[in-house]
């Protein structure tokens, strides 16, 4: 089995609720890229990369597509089942840019699953969770509207939530107080600033809400500033955007800077490298959120398979982005019900692209 063709598809993912807002950013739709890897015996594997706009992380949609085509010539003719070798070739051909490599890596895992007749979660460690706990995002907005939205999500069966803050310390204090006031007993809530607070703002906010039952997630852009906030807060701390490598995760663990870590698959370069970080975190007893920046059913499937193979006691939560979008890019994605998702048991990721939505490829290499 050799890679014979790599094709790219671009698709817009509009938001059901009109917009998705966090920190100081807001988008009505996200630009996603689907990768199709076809082998010389006619097998196909699929992956997806969807940066959260161009100013969230060092990643953007056009860059992903350019980078993937840059890598394509190096991958044609290789065996996609040799995923370690695939990653070595990508790293030698393109230094850095892990988000570019993520969709290609995921597509190779999809092909490996199909070639072995196994769902991807079996290959990532086994299906040790029957279902994957989800969190629901409460998009940044008016404090009263955010509280109403949380109540609606609780009525849908969700019991873990991430409220978006990071745009005005005084208003964020009000947002946190109003949302936590309607949080049902036993449910969990994180206030996620997505790097949006300056250190002095974050200190003000956490000091003002020290009596509220919530987690604080990535209050500031740098690890050093988050560490200062950790020292003045009595809330559990989740680190996300500044956790860019296994080394940064190990440093944060050694410094006791976090109580949980958010692992985004594309930030590490795909399932292969995220699995390494996941396994180290599991060995160290670090609680993990497993997700990605954004995406449709393909991204959801990759998230679900990695989370399914993570012990429940170490898995804090995951996200399912397809439920926020007005279009479906694939069938066979994880089934979402009562605050959980369950991935297909079919070989590979278990998905079939919706070609009516994806249309024709925007670029191909063979």
Instruction: Supply the residues annotated as catalytic.
Output: 164, 264
The tokens of 7 are what? 């094709």
How far is the C-alpha of 348 from the C-alpha of 304, rounded, in Å?
12
Cα–Cα distance for residue pair 235/226, rounded to 1 Å: 12
Name residue, tokens 């063979």.
Answer: 366
Q: Do 139 and 165 meet the contact criterion of CB atoms below 8 Å apart?
A: no
């Amino acid at each position: 089995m050799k890679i014979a063709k790599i094709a790219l598809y671009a698709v817009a993912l509009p938001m059901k609720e009109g917009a998705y807002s966090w920190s100081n950013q807001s988008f009505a739709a996200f630009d996603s890229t689907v990768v199709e890897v076809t082998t010389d015996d006619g097998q196909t594997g699929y992956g997806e990369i969807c940066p959260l706009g161009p100013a969230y992380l060092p990643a953007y949609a056009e860059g992903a597509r350019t980078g993937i085509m840059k890598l394509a010539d190096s991958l044609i003719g290789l065996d996609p089942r040799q995923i370690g070798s695939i990653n070595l070739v990508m790293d030698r051909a393109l230094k850095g840019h892990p988000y570019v490599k993520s969709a290609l890596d995921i597509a190779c895992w999809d092909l490996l699953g199909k070639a072995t007749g196994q769902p991807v979660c079996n290959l990532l460690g086994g299906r040790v969770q029957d279902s994957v706990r989800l969190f629901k995002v409460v998009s940044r907005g008016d404090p009263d509207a955010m509280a109403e939205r949380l109540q609606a999500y609780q009525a849908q069966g969700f019991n873990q939530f991430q409220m978006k803050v990071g745009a005005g310390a005084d208003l964020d204090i009000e947002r946190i107080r109003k949302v936590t006031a309607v949080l049902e007993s036993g449910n969990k809530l994180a206030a996620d600033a997505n790097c949006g607070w300056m250190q002095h703002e974050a200190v003000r906010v956490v000091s003002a809400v020290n009596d509220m039952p919530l987690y604080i997630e990535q209050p500031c852009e740098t690890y050093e500033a988050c560490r200062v906030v950790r020292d003045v807060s009595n809330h559990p701390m989740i680190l996300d955007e500044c956790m860019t490598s296994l080394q940064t995760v190990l440093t944060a663990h050694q410094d006791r800077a976090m109580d949980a870590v958010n692992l985004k698959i594309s930030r590490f370069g795909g399932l292969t490298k995220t699995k390494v970080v996941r396994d180290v975190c599991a060995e160290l007893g670090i609680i993990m959120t497993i997700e990605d920046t954004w995406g449709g059913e393909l991204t959801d499937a990759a998230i679900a398979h990695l989370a399914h193979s993570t012990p429940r006691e170490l898995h804090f939560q995951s996200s399912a982005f397809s439920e926020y979008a007005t279009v479906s890019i694939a069938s066979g994605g994880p089934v979402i019900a009562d605050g959980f998702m369950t991935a297909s048991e079919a070989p590979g990721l278990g998905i079939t692209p919706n070609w009516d939505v994806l249309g024709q490829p925007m670029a191909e290499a063979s």
